[in-house]
Amino acid sequence: MQKITKNQLLDKAAELLDNGTVTAVLGWQKGEFDYDVTPALFENKEELFANFVWNDFCGANFSKYLIKHTRKVEGKILVFLKPCDTYSFNQLLTEHRFDREKVYAVGIPCEGMADIDKVKAIVGDGISSIDCGEKIKVTTIYADAAVEIDGKDVLEGRCESCKSKKHVAYDELLGEEGDVLDSNRFDEVARLEAMTPDERFAFWQNELSRCIRCNACRDVCPACTCEKCVFGNPKSGVENKSPANSFEEKMFHIIRAFHVAGRCTDCGECSRVCPQNIPLHLLNRKFIKDMNECYGEYQAGAEVGSRAPLVNYTTEDLEPGEVFDRRDTDA
């Protein structure tokens, strides 16, 4: 599905390592089964050429790793960024979370990433190989013939409503400059808004009841970068390791959604990693939609240094009362 090839990325990485521009490469490392890709920091060319992978399962957004790696690595780090990743990258810079001077960002085009669950829904379990070319070619231990899948049929949920193919940050761009897309990403939110409050409550109650509080959504989120999260801090008084009851289950998610409101770029990592398939992105997207409607269009991470509407008072801002009225007519 991808237009840019692994070799193009490898050549670029080798060139930058060779000419001393960077000392390490943040990239995707191949796993056991062609789809279980792990983010990795490659510190030399041997490792890179042995283990680097680029295919339709390279969904991981590396921006957040830059906080940790720029503190550790001497010299610059080459990071490969897909268009959606660049928004997180900018947002982190806006929040002064890493030193821009220590990063060499290479923008790479993305045709959308594949969801292994959707692949399995078509080919079944027992995958023995996946070959990502123009089509995704899958073999399983249960069938003699390989199955060819169109990548568009197995796109990750977030890629189905991709907001932008444009890279908003890079030092160098491979491939062509893309555009901000006219995405349908708010349709799902509109569906929730059309529900009655009771229906909506029941919807979230059901979704969140599956939460095992593994914290993967928080830990992967590029907007969740507190050095110590209140929910993991024994001194905070609200520390908790498990959802103790259904109130507390929701509280974690509501507080997290509020905390990232205005800073969430809608990168979709939370929903991608949730082992329980909870559509967490919808909470944040609702905030984005509301902010767009109340304060004018705003995209977090579109540029470095922008002020989110919630922290930027202007005299044109809606009065809280108007927002309240809006809620009343919604119901």
Partner 1 sequence: MRKCSLDKLQSVFAAVNEKMPIYLPANGSDGKAVYTKWAEGVELSDSLNTVRSPKDFFFPQTENMMEFKTEGKTIEIIDVRDEKEDFVIFGVRACDVKSFEILDRVFLTDPVDSFYASRREHGIIVAMACTKPSETCFCQTFGIDATEPMGDVSAWKTDKEIFFKANTEKGEAFMKAIEALTEDADTKEVEAQKEATKKILKKLPLAELDTKAFGGGKTSEFFNHPAWAELSESCLGCGTCTFVCPTCQCYDIKDFNTGKGVIRFRCWDSCMYSDFTRMAHGNNRNSQKERFRQRFMHKLVYYPENNEGIFGCVGCGRCLSKCPISMNIVKVMKKIGGETK
Instruction: Answer with the entry of partner 1, ligand SF4, none that 280 interacts with (C-beta below 5 to 8 A by kind).
Output: ligand SF4
Positive or negative: CA dihedral 127, 131, 132, 135: negative
User: Which structure tokens are listed for 98?
Assistant: 């890493």
Shortest Cβ 217–ligand SF4 spacing (Å): 3
Instruction: Answer with the entry of ligand SF4, partner 1, none that 139 interacts with (C-beta below 5 to 8 A by kind).
Output: none
Give the binding site for ligand SF4 (CB under 6 A): 211-217, 273-276, 278, 280
Shortest Cβ 280–partner 1 spacing (Å): 13
Shortest Cβ 242–partner 1 spacing (Å): 4
Instruction: Answer with the entry of partner 1, ligand SF4, none that 33 interacts with (C-beta below 5 to 8 A by kind).
Output: partner 1
The nearer residue to ligand SF4, 105 or 260, going by C-beta atoms, is 260
C-alpha–C-alpha distance, residues 116 and 78, integer Å: 27
Instruction: Answer with the entry of ligand SF4, partner 1, none that 184 interacts with (C-beta below 5 to 8 A by kind).
Output: none
The nearer residue to partner 1, 64 or 263, going by C-beta atoms, is 64
Within 8 A by CB and 6+ apart from 15, the residues are none
CA dihedral defined by 93, 96, 102, 106, rounded to 10 degrees? -10
Shortest Cβ 320–partner 1 spacing (Å): 30
Using N-to-C axis directions, what is the helix angle for 65-72 and 83-94, rounded to 10°?
Answer: 60
Measured CA distances, 327 to 134, 160, 180, 253 (Å): 47, 29, 30, 21
CA dihedral defined by 151, 153, 158, 160, rounded to 10 degrees? 100
Do 182 and 221 meet the contact criterion of CB atoms below 8 Å apart?
Answer: no
Instruction: Answer with the entry of partner 1, ligand SF4, none that 308 interacts with (C-beta below 5 to 8 A by kind).
Output: none
Instruction: Answer with the entry of partner 1, ligand SF4, none that 74 interacts with (C-beta below 5 to 8 A by kind).
Output: none
The helix (H) or strand (E) run that includes residue 310 is none
Shortest Cβ 256–ligand SF4 spacing (Å): 8
Dihedrals phi, psi of 96, to nearest 5 degrees: 55, 45
Give the binding site for partner 1 (CB under 8 A): 31-33, 36-41, 60, 65, 124-128, 141-142, 206, 210, 212-216, 218-220, 228, 232-234, 239-245, 272-273, 275-277
User: Which structure tokens are listed for 52?
Assistant: 């680097």
Shortest Cβ 207–ligand SF4 spacing (Å): 9
The nearer residue to partner 1, 98 or 168, going by C-beta atoms, is 98
